[in-house]
Amino acid sequence: MTEKIKVLLVDDQPLLRMGFRLILEGEDDVEIVAEASDGAEGVRLVEAHVPDVVLMDVRMPVMDGIEATRRITASGACSRIIILTTFDLDEYAFSGLRAGASAFLLKDVAPEELVHAVRVVASGDAVVAPRVTQRLLETYVRSQHGGPKPPSDPLLEDLTRRELEVLHAIAEGLSNAELAHKFFLSEATVKTHVRRILTKLHLRDRVQAVVYAYETGLVTPSQGLDF
């Protein structure tokens, strides 16, 4: 039997948590392990339950979702975080991605999209998804450019030429299958390259790799993010 995806719900609205619980618990491969009504409680429950995925609201009492995300990722927890927000181009959601979240979803997301996003983020092998995350990255990454180019990160020197090429392609939003086709490699080899890139740059996942590529100036908006 396949191990279930363990999910933690963190939102100060009980009705929203209930709705997400009903949707996700209807799936055979998903289990809700706990619920929290604020970010501080969410941080404690991540430590207690070690969920695979955390659905994290942004605006909550006691501790907001951005700070909770920052603390969870800084702790070294392997839980992946999906930011929940009301607006699709929310600067707070972008702050959540910078803090270490893997994606973000609108609170009125369709049930099938919610389930898909949880599975994709849990797999750790996703493109920059869901698509609304791409729009968010495009908007806020583009808005930050125009000043002096940031200094190159010394960690980039640890990447091989092929790994740099793969990182550029990840920043363009290519999937593993598309990367394999582009570089004439097997998908297994592509996964190895991606894993090595994330390890060398101390990144959690592909979304973090895209944010990193733009924030370090390795890639500029005119070169990629063709969403």
Give the pair of three-digit tokens for residue 11. Answer: 């939102």
The closest of 68, 91, 96, 97 to 211, measured between CA atoms, is: 97
What does the pLDDT look like over 54-88, one tens digit per residue? 999 988 999 999 999 999 998 988 899 998 888 76
Same domain, 189 and 209: yes
145: exposed, middle or buried (Cβ count in 10 Å: 0-12, 13-18, 19+):
middle
- Give me the helices (H) in the chain, please: 14-24, 39-49, 65-74, 91-99, 111-123, 131-144, 161-171, 176-183, 187-200, 206-215
Q: Is residue 45 part of a domain?
A: yes
Q: Is residue 222 part of a domain?
A: no
Q: Which amino acid, residue 117?
A: A
What does the pLDDT look like over 109-133, one tens digit per residue? 899 989 988 998 888 765 444 455 5
- What is the predicted pLDDT for the residue at 129? 46
Q: Note whether 202 and 159 are within 8 A (CB).
A: no
- What is the predicted pLDDT for the residue at 36? 96
Q: Is residue 221 part of a domain?
A: no
- What is the predicted pLDDT for the residue at 55? 96
Give dist(CA 12, CA 84) in Å, integer: 12
DSSP state of 54: E
How many degrees, rounded to 5, is the angle at CA 102 between CA 97 and CA 105?
Answer: 85
Measuring CA to CA, how many Å separate 125 from each of 116, 118, 141, 198, 207?
Answer: 13, 12, 22, 11, 10
Q: How many domains does the chain have?
A: 2
The pTM of this model reads: 0.76
Q: Is residue 227 part of a domain?
A: no
- What is the predicted pLDDT for the residue at 105? 82
Q: Note whether 43 and 63 are within 8 A (CB).
A: yes
Q: Is residue 24 part of a domain?
A: yes
Q: Is residue 223 part of a domain?
A: no
206 — pLDDT class (breaks 50, 70, 90):
confident
The closest of 95, 99, 133 to 116, measured between CA atoms, is: 133
Same domain, 20 and 128: yes
Q: Look at strands 5-10 and 103-106 and give their pairing.
A: unpaired
What does the pLDDT look like over 176-190, one tens digit per residue? 888 899 999 998 999
Is the pLDDT at 140 greater than 50? The verdict is yes
